[in-house]
Amino acid sequence: MYKIVSIPGDGIGPEVVAGAVAVLKQLSKKHGFEIVIEEHPFGGASYDLHGEMLTDATLEACKNCDAVLLGAVGGPKWESLPHDHKPEAALLKIRKELGLFANLRPAKVYDALLGASSLKPEVVRGTDFLVFRELTGGIYFGQPRGFDENKGWNTMVYERFEVERIARLAFEEARKRDKKVISIDKANVLEVSQFWRNVVHEVHKDFADVELSDMYVDNAAMQIVRNPKQFDVIVTSNLFGDILSDIAGMITGSLGMLPSASIGKSHALYEPIHGSAPDIAGQNKANPIATIASVAMMFDYSFSLPDIAREIYQAIEATLASGLRTADIANPGEIAVSTTVMTEAIVRHLGA
């Protein structure tokens, strides 16, 4: 039995999570294992119900399950709240409380979607790399922080153990792929980045079979657009990983295609990298593929069932090959289908 906490969240979150739940139910039926799904509020939805973004009950449920599935959080309705009470602050808190120090963001271009990318097909064809973003350290958590009428300040700090553990995970994953890791930093300007680079190279001594190279973050942003196929595994800090993985999203055609896994020593959370998209919330227009692909990552990393993960990816590929497109990945002249139509097609392919 697998116990999953479902957190639909805000905006399009409930719509895309519903698609992922439909996939989970189909897989449970097909393979004969039991999946228990327990739903909890989080973010703005939780604030409207309970006056706080992350309740103790939701946090406790997340600590006592096999995996967490999150939709999206935030929206204009809650933007005027103080910084410490915004949905994004709750997201940082749940990552910290669950010890989710590694954020894995794959950038894979499906052959059927070569035309959806803003780059030339010959540039993006075959792109398939994985970003390891450090998630609980760096500038998002560093102290001191604040602002007044004259200045604002944040502090970027990394401790040795934080760099060591994310680097080790990246090297271990690279061994399963093409055995190439690129560590991305700004060591020519930032002392904290030079420290990052030093520690990554120390960890690399235990992985001599994996090729390691370094790249400055500004160059990396350019290279991801110029020649994305050169990358296999990227490891980088919280801030740089946040930015670079969104750039990677555009070469795949849409942020609606990109899943993610946030993992720690004992817990894991899976979510699409896109936001709550309040402009289309409730309209049945959202692309569920990123959330469904996040379920594939769940089966791979939390449940150690890579064959089932592969089934999900193949169902997505077959659905796209059949010509179905949601609005975010539809070319001019193509008819966009709804969230539910896209979900139902993927579920059908899973059952075939």
Q: How far apart are alpha carbons 153 and 140 in whole angstroms?
A: 11
Q: How far apart are alpha carbons 239 and 132 in whole angstroms?
A: 12
Position 150 scores a pLDDT of 98
CATH 3.40.718.10 in the chain is located at 1-101+264-352, 110-253
Residues with a known catalytic role:
140, 186, 218, 242, 246
Long-range Cβ pairs for the range 332-336 (8 Å, 24+): 336/285
Q: What DSSP assignment string belongs to 96-125?
A: HHHT--EEEEEEE--GGGGGGSSS-HHHHT
Residue range 110-253 in CATH 3.40.718.10: yes
* pLDDT tens over the chain, length 352 residues: 999 999 999 999 999 999 999 999 999 999 999 999 999 999 999 999 999 999 999 999 999 999 999 999 999 999 888 888 888 889 989 998 999 999 999 999 988 888 878 889 999 999 999 999 999 999 999 999 999 999 999 999 999 999 999 999 999 999 999 999 999 999 999 999 999 999 999 999 999 999 999 999 999 999 999 999 999 999 999 999 999 988 887 788 788 888 999 999 999 999 998 999 999 999 999 999 999 999 999 999 999 999 999 999 999 999 999 999 999 988 888 899 999 999 999 999 998 7
Position 215 scores a pLDDT of 98
Position 315 scores a pLDDT of 97
Position 246 scores a pLDDT of 83
Q: Which are the contacts of 29, defined by CB distance < 8 A and separation ≥ 6?
A: none
Q: What DSSP assignment string belongs to 177-210?
A: TTSEEEEEE-TTT-HHHHHHHHHHHHHHTT-TTS
Superfamily of domain 1-101+264-352: Isopropylmalate Dehydrogenase (3.40.718.10)
Position 184 scores a pLDDT of 98
Encoded amino acid at 328, one letter: D
Q: Which residue has the tokens 């006592």?
A: 64
What are the distances in angstroms from CA 86 to CA 90, 135, 141, 149, 300?
Answer: 7, 18, 15, 21, 32
Sign of CA dihedral 308, 309, 313, 316: positive
Q: What DSSP assignment string belongs to 136-180?
A: SSGGGT-SS-EE-SS-EE------HHHHHHHHHHHHHHHTTTTSE
Q: What share of the chain is helix, strand, coil (3-state, %, to 5)?
A: 50, 20, 35
Q: Which residue has the tokens 């049945």?
A: 284
Q: Strand 67-72 to strand 211-216: parallel, antiparallel, or no bridges (unpaired)?
A: unpaired
Q: What DSSP assignment string belongs to 210-235?
A: SEEEEEEHHHHHHHHHH-GGG-SEEE
